[in-house]
Amino acid sequence: MSQSATAIQTDTHAEHHEELSFLYKYILPVDHKMIAMQYMFTGLIMAVIGGFFSYVFRMQLAFPGESVPLYGIVGPGEYNMMVTNHGTIMIFWVAMPVLIAAFGNYLIPLMCGCDDMVFPRLNRLSYQIFLVSALVLIFSFFVKGGGFGGAWTAYPPLSTVPEYNLTDWGASLWILAVALEFVSFLLGGINFVTTAMNARAPGMKMMDIPIVVWFLVIAVILFMASVGPLIAGAVMLFMDQRIGTTFFLPSGGGDPLLWEHLFWFFGHPEVYVVLLPTMGIVAEIITVFSRKKLFGYRTILYTAFATGGLSFVVWAHHQFVAGIDPRMANVFVVTTLLISIPIAEMLFSYIATLYGGSIEFKTPMLWALSFLFAFLIGGVTGIYLGASALDVYFHDSYFVLAHFHYTFFPITIIGMFAAITYWFPKMFGRMMNETLSKIHFWGTFIPFNCIFLPLFFLGLAGQHRRIYNFSHYPDLATENLQDVRVFATTSLVIMLLFQGIFLYNFFYSMFKGEKAPDNPWKANTLEWTVPSPPQHGNFKKLPTVYRGAYEYSVPGRESDYWPQNMPPDKN
- Enumerate residues 550-569 that contact other proteins by CB under 8 A: 552-555, 560
- Nearest-approach distance from CB 483 to other proteins, in angstroms: 5
Q: How many CB atoms lie within 10 A of CB 252?
A: 11
CA-based nearest residue to 213, from 532, 553, 545: 545
Judged by CB under 8 A, which of 79, 409, 423, 441 binds other proteins?
79
User: How far, rounded to the nearest angstrom, does the alpha carbon of residue 148 sit from its chain's CA centroid?
Assistant: 23
Residue 490 near other proteins by CB under 8 A: yes
**Max Cα distance, the chain (Å):** 75
For 88, 122, 180, 427, 502, the CA distances from 286, given in Å and listed in that order, are: 30, 33, 36, 20, 22
Our finding on whether 10 is near other proteins (CB under 8 A) is no
Q: Does 64 interact with other proteins (rule: CB under 8 A)?
A: yes
In angstroms, rounded to a whole number, what is the distance separating the alpha carbons of residues 181 and 361? 37
Contact call for residue 56 and other proteins (CB under 8 A): no
| 457 contacts: CB under 8 Å, gap ≥ 6 | 484
294 forms part of the interface with other proteins (CB under 8 A): yes
Binding mask 144-163 for other proteins (x = CB under 8 A): -----xxx-x-xxxx--x--
For residue 319, the minimal CB distance to other proteins (Å) is: 8
| Cα separations in angstroms, 516 against 428, 429, 432, 511 | 9, 5, 9, 12
- Binding region for other proteins (CB under 8 A) out of 125-133, 216-224, 461-469, 519-527: 461-469
Interaction of residue 522 with other proteins, rule CB under 8 A: no
Among 72, 309, 356, 531, binds other proteins (CB under 8 A): 356
Q: Using the rule CB under 8 A, is 322 a contact of other proteins? A: yes
> Considering beta carbons, is residue 126 or 353 the nearer one to other proteins?
353
Q: Is 438 in the site for other proteins (CB under 8 A)?
A: no
Residue 327 interacting with other proteins (CB under 8 A): yes
Answer for which of 1, 15, 18, 355 binds other proteins (CB under 8 A) is: 355
Contact 61, 489 (CB under 8 A): yes
Q: Is 68 in the site for other proteins (CB under 8 A)?
A: no
**Shortest separation between residue 291's beta carbon and other proteins, angstroms:** 4
Question: Shortest CA distance to 59 belongs to which of 485, 445, 420?
Answer: 485
Nearer to other proteins, 127 or 148 (CB): 148
- The Cα–Cα gap between 554 and 551 comes to 6
Question: Rounded to an integer, what distance in angstroms lies between the CA atom of residue 105 and that of residue 22?
Answer: 21
Determine the distance from the C-alpha atom of residue 515 to the mean position of all C-alpha atoms in its chain, rounded to a whole number: 29
**Nearer CB in complex with other proteins: 210/543:** 210
374 lies in the binding site for other proteins (CB under 8 A): no
Which of these ranges, 114-122, 230-238, 392-400, 497-505, lies near other proteins under the rule CB under 8 A?
392-400
